[in-house]
Amino acid sequence: MNLQAVIFAHTRSELDLLARVGAGEGLLEAASHCAGEEQLFDVLENRNVELILYSCDQRGPEALLWLKNLAKRDRWKEIPVVVFTGEEQVETRVAALEMGACDVLSFTTPGPEIAARLRCRLRERKEIKKIKKSREDLARVALTDGLTGLCNRAFFDASLESEAARSARTGASYSLLLVDVDHFKWVNDTYGHQLGDTVLQAIARVLRHAVRKSDMAFRYGGEEFALLLPETDIPKAQVLAARIHREIADLAADYAHFRQPLTVSIGISCCPGEETVEGALIFEQADCALYSAKRNGRNRTEIFQFGKTEFKASEMHAPSNLRM
């Protein structure tokens, strides 16, 4: 058994003793050694550690406080910790288990028993990782649109409220873009839903590649998409909208046989940050701007000016030869 393990011991003699305990059964050939909590966390940061062995020989429960700090780190709190003590250190052994150690052994425990216990701890860790991955996969499926691979409506609703709360807390601005495919019903009715799905997938790829890593792209429903842009004001949102129009225009060449050119309409709303605004209101404003873009000819961007009732047509709408 060649483990990615850490041997944590305060003195060289303890470290050598613990290393010999592992080596006796062919364990821990690749183990890292450390003598303090800071060094331990540095090793955990840089290696994929599966097991921690800690020597607490002749020390009281206060020497185990680092276990509480380990438990506060989400990335590492599930790493199994096996503590070695003297058989007579009953108080320390109990404290180790209460603070999160998965097992407590003595230096006189027979080698075969140590190996069996470590294998048991590693099997448990493997099962925990499988369960955690299964849960993550299920959560990802639940929050992902099956057709486009973008985040879905449920995730959008939660993300918008989360961003609104963050903006209220920090004073940071954010913008919301609603993107709607123009005349999409005509595409479905004329060429069928299968080609309509292909169009939606192509547009989703454009949106996914257009946003930054900090931004989020969603399929809101049907032919409507949403882009949530943290720490983004109106001018920056306009730049993104213009890029989307350009890239959709390039994409339209793949559908040149359409009697109606492939275009999108975009509505933008922005929370300026200095005011506390519910996410639902920002959505309503972006939706109003999108409606205005549709009403004013499609294939364009409209902006809802926060605090004003009128709309402003973006100067960065699509090229005039593609307007409808």
Q: Which residues are known catalytic residues?
A: 223
Rounded Cα gap, residues 105 and 95, in angstroms: 13
Rounded Cα gap, residues 32 and 236, in angstroms: 48
Rounded Cα gap, residues 52 and 34, in angstroms: 11
Rounded Cα gap, residues 117 and 205, in angstroms: 50
Backbone conformation region of residue 7, classed left if phi is above 0, alpha if psi is from -120 to 50, else beta: beta
Contact 5, 49 (CB under 8 A): yes
Q: What number of residues does the chain have?
A: 324
Token duo for residue 301: 């961007």
Strand partners of residue 105: 84
Strand partners of residue 52: 6, 81
Q: What per-residue string of b and e applies to 160-187 under the rule 16 or more CB within 10 Å gives b? A: beebbeebbeeeebbbbbbbbbbbbeeb
User: Which of 253, 262, 285 lies closest to 180, judged by CA?
Assistant: 262
Place of tokens 């649109």: 145
Rounded Cα gap, residues 52 and 40, in angstroms: 9
Other C-beta atoms closer than 10 Å to the C-beta of 12 total 10
Q: What is the DSSP string of 25-57?
A: TT--TT-EEESSHHHHHHHHHHS---EEEEE-T
Q: What is the DSSP string of 143-169?
A: TB-TTT-SB-HHHHHHHHHHHHHHHHH
